[in-house]
Chain A
Amino acid sequence: MDILTINNLSKCFDMKAKKRIYAVKDIDLHIKEGEALGLVGESGCGKSTLAKLILQLERPTEGEVIYKDEDLVKKKFRQMQEIRNELQMVFQNSANMFNPYFTVKQIIMEPINDKTVSKEEKEKMIVAMLEKLGLDESFVNRYGNELSGGQRQRVGIARALISQPRFVVCDEAVSSLDYIIKKQILDLLLSLKEQMGLTYLFISHDLSSVKRVCDRVVVMYLGNIVEILPRLDEDARHPYTKALLAASLDIDPRNRTKQKVLYKEHGEKSIPKEGCIFQYRCLYANDECRSKRPELKGGDGDHLVACHLCRD
């Protein structure tokens, strides 16, 4: 059962430019109810843009996003407003994540649109949510800029979960936390997922936390999906996924000296006119890669790869 179906989704920020550059191009994706879908890729590959396109925080250039048999792209601002509490987002941590004049209470209260809920009930909900996330009620009257990075991140998570959503985008939700809190938050996200029946789109640079949480992982490169794989491990087949995995840091000191670079480091990082999206930086690119765009398909069930070289 799919909670969200994304068909042919594209976004170009500057439609007037002579050479149109797509931040996200022709994305087809099915997000299953109750799964934690990971989304990985290097900085600037369109992960956050894709998330914002799904939630209609940026309007797509073309394509559709089907939720409950309705196309979100066609919905107007007011119509989206009605279902926003079901589709929430934990924003990437930054200094201007919260309004500097808002207290933590006001920040978390913002998604509770239901006017029938009394102020006391709202406050109870907020304190309960804060305590679930390891903060206490003394934070209620603090201002956003008085919080540390980790506290800010947790307030952001509390805010996204307070309205009892069905689908949550976690955009780098744990990236600025230390490892202890990171593990706690990841455990919490998983247990909340069980309790509330949530579906996650989990965006991260941090491959280890993606491994920890996700049921399925989507790998993006320059606005295109290059591989969808059940687990982020050695079974990766696309050269880019392999390169990404090889680039992750290892805490084992014996592995430190090994040079594991599986892509052309100085390769041109631009979108090719035709052929495979990764051709400029791929070590194995051949003539077919330069002339024909590979489709996202795969032999065995969940594992899809967009690569000419991974067919057999």
Chain B
Amino acid sequence: MFRKQVLTDKNIEDMKNNALDSRSSFLKRTIHNLKSNKPALIGGMVLLALIVIGFAAPLLAPHDPLEVETSNRLLSPSLQYPLGTDHMGRCILSRLMYATRTSLITALIILAGNLAIGIPLGLIAGYVGGKIDNLIMRVADIALTFPSSLILLAVIGIFGTNVIYMILVLTFLWWAPYARILRSLVIKLKEQDFVMAAEAAGRSKTYIAFKHIGLCSISPVIVLATLKISSIIMHVASYSFIGIGTQAPNADWGVMLSESREFIFTRPILIAWPAIVIVIVVLCLNIFGEGLKDALLPNTRMNANSSYKGD
């Protein structure tokens, strides 16, 4: 109880080594928890590989994805064309790489737009409350109830087809879940005991907003974003498939599926390639998102791995 405090140089040194500031401890803990979750780790690695392949497509692709060579129509896989060629004699592997690039960039732009709208609105609604909260949430309800495909068709009917319209429509319709989840989190968090305790400790409002409310609400948003991006990818692919997203001859998973549709009986392998990539990406995203959820959220972390003490 009243034990004399003994602080040798050695254990001060140990403490320094153990000392983690909040950022690194948060990150380290997340990474540690992710490492122990094998499926999520594999999912994350596959995603990372696909992202690298997509963004390095101009360097890695063996052929120009738009180069038409009618004499090489519908070739089987060979050394020159590892996955064969399509109905216009274009290299499928190269097209698939560029398609990954287009699809991922489109999806990421939409996600970034959703977050850029949803996060500030959710924070304001939760913090300020009252009439402003009501207004924002009703706008969110409207955004949620609008069917995105219908709006997109209407926009394209008026302005003509362009991939920009798809990005804009999805950006302005799909931000609502983030605003909603953040609002509810902020409302819950600002009544927590530790927020009042931080105030009692003499901390500023900005500190409380970032260190307490920010830190606790960022994880659910990251998790939601990881799970939502797979649905964005699916929608982008389907809009491109029906011709209101990315336009041919540019490569996109949806465009490739749509082009291969005519050869489904003669050369079914053509439709398999983009489909396989979509399935892999969406599957990996979902597995990774679930893993991230377990790694990030402290209440579920308890049963996943409680032995970690931050060393």
Residues of chain A having any CB pair with chain B under 8 Å: 52, 55, 57, 77-78, 80-82, 84-85, 88-89, 91-92, 94, 96-103, 105-106, 110-111, 113, 119-120, 123-124, 127-128, 131-132, 134, 137, 140-143, 145-146, 159, 163, 184, 187-188, 191
Q: Verify B200–A88 contact, CB threshold 8 A.
A: yes
A145 touches B194 (CB 8 A): no
Check A96–B192 contact: CB distance below 8 A. Answer: yes
A124 — nearest CB in chain B belongs to which residue? Answer: B7
Interface 0/1 of B185-215, CB less than 8 Å to A? 0000000111011111111110000011001
Q: How far is the CB of A177 from chain B (nearest CB, A)?
A: 13
* B18, B198, B216: the one within 8 Å of A100 (CB): B216
Verify if B266 is at the interface (C-beta below 8 Å from A): no
> Which residues of chain B have a CB within 8 Å of any CB of chain A?
1-3, 5, 7, 11-12, 15-16, 18-20, 22, 25-26, 192-194, 196-205, 211-212, 215-216, 298-299, 302, 306, 309-311
The chain A residue with its CB closest to the CB of B302 is: A145
- The answer on a CB contact under 8 Å between A132 and B2 is yes
Do B18 and A140 touch across chains, with their CB atoms under 8 A apart?
Answer: yes
| Chain A residue nearest in CB terms to B4 | A131
Q: Are A105 and B5 within 8 A (Cβ)?
A: no
A81 engages B202 (CB within 8 Å): yes
**CA distance in complex: A89, B216 (Å):** 23
Interchain CA distance A81-B3 in the complex, whole Å: 34
Q: Which residue of B lies closest to A144 (CB)?
A: B194
B22 CB contact (under 8 Å) in A98, A106, A128: A106
The residues of A that contact B198 with a CB separation of less than 8 Å are 110
User: In the complex, what's the smallest C-beta–C-beta distance from A28 to chain B, in angstroms?
Assistant: 24
Partner among A84, A124, A163 whose Cβ is within 8 Å of the Cβ of B12: A124
Closest Cβ–Cβ distance, residue B239 to chain A (whole Å): 39
Q: Which of B3, B202, B212 has the most CB of A within 10 A?
A: B202
B12 and A100 within 8 A (CB): no
A141 interface neighbour in B26, B202, B311, Cβ under 8 Å: B311
Let me know if B18 and A120 touch, CB within 8 A.
Answer: no
Which A-B residue pairs are the 10 nearest by beta carbons? A84-B202, A111-B201, A100-B298, A141-B310, A110-B201, A99-B194, A128-B5, A96-B192, A81-B202, A131-B5
Collect the chain B residues with CB atoms within 8 Å of residue A97's CB: 193-194, 197
Given contacts A81-B202, A99-B212, A110-B198, contact A120 B192 (CB under 8 A): no
The docked-state distance in angstroms from the alpha carbon of A80 to that of B200 is 9
Contact in complex: B205, A77 (CB < 8 Å):
yes
Residues of chain B contacted by A105 (CB below 8 angstroms): 19
- In the complex, which residues of chain B have a beta carbon less than 8 angstroms from the beta carbon of A57? 196, 199-200
> Which chain B residues lie closer than 8 Å to A120 at the CB level?
12, 16
Given contact pairs A101-B298, A128-B5, enumerate 16 new A-B contacts (beta carbons under 8 Å): A77-B205, A84-B202, A85-B202, A97-B197, A99-B194, A101-B216, A103-B20, A105-B19, A106-B22, A110-B201, A111-B200, A123-B16, A123-B19, A140-B18, A145-B298, A145-B302
Q: Which residue of B lies closest to A94 (CB)?
A: B193
Q: Are B20 and A141 in contact (CB under 8 A)?
A: yes
Q: How far is the CA of A80 from the CA of B16 in the complex (A)?
A: 33
Which residues of the partner chain B approach A110 to less than 8 Å between Cβ atoms? 197-198, 201, 203
Separation of A202 and B171 alpha carbons in the complex (Å): 55
Q: Which of B15, B22, B199, B202 contacts A123 (CB 8 A)?
A: B15
Which A residue's beta carbon lies closest to that of B191? A96
Are B299 and A140 in contact, CB atoms less than 8 angstroms apart? no
Task: Find out whether the CB atom of B299 lies under 8 angstroms from the CB atom of A100.
Answer: yes
Q: Chain B's nearest CB lies how many Å from the CB of A169?
A: 9
- Docked-complex contact A119 and B192, CB < 8 angstroms: no
Docked Cα-Cα span, A210 to B310, in Å, equals 39
With a CB–CB cut-off of 8 A, which chain A residues contact B2? 132, 188, 191
User: What is the distance, in angstroms, from A16's C-beta to the closest C-beta of chain B?
Assistant: 13
Q: Which residue of B1, B25, B196 is within 8 Å of A103 (Cβ)?
A: B25
Contact B5–A142 (Cβ < 8 Å): no
A85 and B202 CA atoms in complex are apart in Å by 7
Instruction: Report B-chain residues with C-beta under 8 Å of the C-beta of A191.
Output: 2
Query: Complex formed: what's the CA distance from A110 to B20 in Å?
Result: 15
| Given contact pairs A128-B5, A131-B3, A140-B18, A111 touches B202 in the complex (Cβ within 8 A) | yes
Question: For residue A101, which residues in chain B have a CB less than 8 angstroms away from its CB?
Answer: 22, 26, 215-216, 298
In the bound assembly, the distance between CA atoms of A57 and B199 in angstroms comes to 7
User: Which chain A residues lie closer than 8 Å to B192 at the CB level?
Assistant: 96
Most chain A beta-carbon neighbours within 10 Å: one of B192, B194, B204, B306? B194
Q: Is the CB of A127 within 8 A of B194?
A: no
- Distance A80 CA – B196 CA, assembled complex (angstroms): 14
Chain A to chain B contacts (Cβ below 8 Å), 22 pairs: A52-B196, A57-B199, A81-B203, A81-B204, A89-B197, A91-B196, A96-B194, A99-B211, A99-B212, A99-B216, A100-B216, A101-B22, A101-B215, A103-B25, A103-B310, A105-B19, A123-B15, A124-B7, A127-B15, A141-B309, A145-B298, A188-B1
Contacts of A127 in B (CB 8 A): 5, 7, 15
- What residues of chain A lie closer than 8 Å to B302, measured between beta carbons? 145
Q: In this complex, what residue of A is CB-closest to B192?
A: A96
Closest Cβ neighbor of B14 among chain A residues: A137
Nearest CB of chain A from residue B19's CB, rounded to whole Å: 7
What A residues does B25 contact at CB under 8 A? 103, 141
- A88 contacts across to B, CB distance below 8 A: 200-201
- Could you tell me the distance between the alpha carbons of A159 and B11 in the complex, rounded to whole angstroms? 22
Cα distance A148–B201 when bound, in Å? 23
Closest to A95 in B: B193
Nearest residue (CB) in A for B215 is A101
Contact between chains at B215 and A99 (CB < 8 Å) = yes
Contact residues in A for B5 (Cβ distance below 8 Å): 127-128, 131-132
CB pair B12 A119 closer than 8 Å = no
